[in-house]
Amino acid sequence: MKKQLLTLSMGAASRALVLLIPLMLAVGCEVVDRSAVSRPANLSTSQALDTSAEAYVRLVLALGEHDPDSVDAYYGPKAWREEAKAKKKPLPAIAREAFHLMSTLNTLKLDREDTMVKLRRSYLVHQLKAIVTKAEMLQGRKLTFDQESKALYDAVAPTYSEEHFLIVLDQLDKLLPGSGPLLPRYEAFKKEFIIPPDRLDAVFTAAIQEARRRTKIHLKLPEDESFTVEYVTGKPWSAYNWYKGNGKSVIQVNTSLPVYIDRAVDLAAHEGYPGHHVYNALLEQHLVRDRGWVEFSVYPLFSPQSLVAEGSANFGIDMVFPGEERVDFEKNVLFPLAGMKRERAGLYYDVMEQMKRLDYAGNEAGRRYLNGEIKAPQATEWLTRYALMLPDRAAQRVQFMDKYRSYIINYNLGEDLVRQYLEANGGTADQPEKRWDIFAELLSSPRLPSDLQPQGEP
């Protein structure tokens, strides 16, 4: 039998290997392929990791030629991207090479007990697992919602019953003025908090400036960092940060649907300070520039990095505007800029606090929809009923699910995991300086979602 296996052609052996990938990944195996090329004896651990990192970046770029959404940002050598375009690598080859690289890294013996080096190796292995999974999905591989999120984002969102959301909706029913169906009352209540289009830029600019000022008190930002804001329409997301490298970002805000006053601070912090813009700038400064870790010059969207990115960006809102400080800033600064009366601000934020408890309704709609249990109209109806979204906004969210699939867990689950991680390490609300120290360390290190979870949890 061994002789017969040795006589397999390289093509046949590769095909056999790729057929094993889905099964191994589905059951959560740490894949170890002893036939993979191991580290040459004359390479140090650092050199071996650097070599693997370059190969990883090239694989991400190759995947991006099949699915442009897969590469969210890249500011590495231009020649690598040009080569990826010129020599479009087939998806089976991408999956196979990523699988081999995972195996090589898994068997790599680390020369020293350096936490950052161990984190680097683990990060690369999990990011490569996501590449394998995405390449297989692009070839038609079907996964359940939870299988997909685990393979791509290193996490599985908790499941909530309809009863959970009904309890929250009952609380909202008591808070909102008027009588009758809840959704129309909620929409009528919110209308007075829509930012007029001609005041939108002034409100966002003030929110961004304040978020930046507050962030700089606690974090040392690169001297050359900055970003520009663009207002766009017709997108499946509310806002997007496009990181360009050298501390620069372009943040796009989607104005197709009404923008409410609380979204100004949300987007200023989430997309800017201390969210995506700061996260990318600090990774570039501390890992790419200072350490020469080229793997962080590329950001594959469908990977564990996204859960940390979205989770830290969402929790960053509370970091930079803790407690009543946010309400005070919005009432005293943003409300006047938006031409709004402040008398109803207290009730508005009480309602918004309850609405946040409905966040996981989106996950449940996505889980059912992507598992094939319900169709798009039923997913839209679920979001209308349990997330209190108007049909057009609910339909937009379903479009987001069509495009980004289980990515939706990264926002709420990511925020919860970041909060748990900070608090478990002493970064509680009553220890703000320690909280900022841990948050800064998280934004500057290659930590994974599984690193954020309490010990003993999956």
For residue range 425-437, list pLDDT tens digits in order.
999 999 999 999 9
How confident is the model at residue 458, as a pLDDT? 47
Whole-angstrom distance, CA of residue 235 vs CA of residue 389: 17
Q: Which pLDDT band, with edges at 50, 70 and 90, does 256 fall under?
A: confident
Residue 439 has pLDDT above 90, yes or no: yes
How confident is the model at residue 38, as a pLDDT? 44
Q: Which residue has the higher pLDDT, 98 or 40?
A: 98
How confident is the model at residue 110, as a pLDDT? 83
Spell out the domain ranges in the chain: 11-142, 162-452
Query: What is the residue-averaged pLDDT of the chain?
Result: 88
Q: How many CA atoms lie within 13 A of 141 on its CB side?
A: 24
Whole-angstrom distance, CA of residue 390 vs CA of residue 446: 39
Residue 202 has pLDDT above 90, yes or no: yes
Q: Which pLDDT band, with edges at 50, 70 and 90, does 40 fall under?
A: very low
Span 330-357, average pLDDT: 91
- pLDDT digits over 306-341, tens only? 999 999 999 999 999 998 899 999 999 999 999 998
Whole-angstrom distance, CA of residue 409 vs CA of residue 155: 9
Q: Which two tokens stand for residue 113?
A: 């007990």
Q: Which residue has the higher pLDDT, 38 or 241?
A: 241
How confident is the model at residue 346, as a pLDDT? 86
Span 98-105, average pLDDT: 95
Residue 188 has pLDDT above 50, yes or no: yes
Would you call 7 exposed, middle or buried from its count of C-beta atoms within 10 A (0-12, 13-18, 19+)?
Answer: exposed
Residue 251, strand partner residues: 229, 241
Q: Which pLDDT band, with edges at 50, 70 and 90, does 42 fall under?
A: low
Give every CB contact of residue 336 below 8 A, 6+ residues apart in sequence: 342
Share of the chain above pLDDT 90, in %: 78
How confident is the model at residue 292, as a pLDDT? 95
How confident is the model at residue 147, as a pLDDT? 97
Span 343-351, average pLDDT: 88
Q: Is 405 left (phi over 0), alpha (psi -120 to 50) or beta?
A: left
Span 413-427, average pLDDT: 96
Span 229-258, average pLDDT: 89
